Amino acid sequence: MIREAGARDHPTIHRLTEAAFGWDAEAHLIAALRASDDSVFDLVAEMDGDIVGHVLLSALAAPPGVLALAPVSVAPDHQRQGIGSGLIHHAIGRATAAGWSAIFLLGDPAYYTRFGFSLDAAESFETDYPREFFMALALKSDAFKSMPKKVEYPAAFRELG
């Protein structure tokens, strides 16, 4: 079951994110994106009443109408059961239905290409992030045609390094 996270879920999501990554930087990123009001879709996967996965999508500072997907976390003892895929598919569906134009992310192409993200789609955009992890997915046909090419993440990402 995938649903919107509420304020009472935040401590659980913090612990889950720390456990998935093995450090706390991404957990603090989530808190910062909520605090700056850049968070748009804050979704949890629940199993038997327990939160076992989480994904956050936030609005890029530029271009307008575009989201960043990060981070996504699945509890270590629930990984490789399709929960991460379910969350990402659900997030893409929500973003499309809400009229967002595209999603960018930084991640391993071996994982994210299965959802339609590609390095090629992001190639013409300007970023300071490493090209080999910088991917995009258009949610509307021709979304990238007339889009400004400078990609600017919300300020909270700068803290992550």
Note whether 89 and 77 are within 8 A (CB). Answer: no
Q: Does 74 bind ligand COA (CB under 6 A)?
A: yes
Query: CA-CA distance, 14 to 73, in Å (whole number)?
Result: 10
- Which of 32, 84, 91, 115 touches ligand COA (CB under 6 A)? 84
Query: CA-CA distance, 20 to 70, in Å (whole number)?
Result: 13
- Which of 13, 29, 30, 70 touches ligand COA (CB under 6 A)? 70
Six-digit token string for 116: 């339609």
Q: Which stretch binds ligand COA (CB under 6 A): 65-73, 93-101, 122-130, 142-150?
A: 65-73
Q: Does 85 bind ligand COA (CB under 6 A)?
A: yes
Query: CA-CA distance, 87 to 95, in Å (whole number)?
Result: 12
Q: Does 108 bind ligand COA (CB under 6 A)?
A: yes
CB of 85 to ligand COA, least distance (A): 3
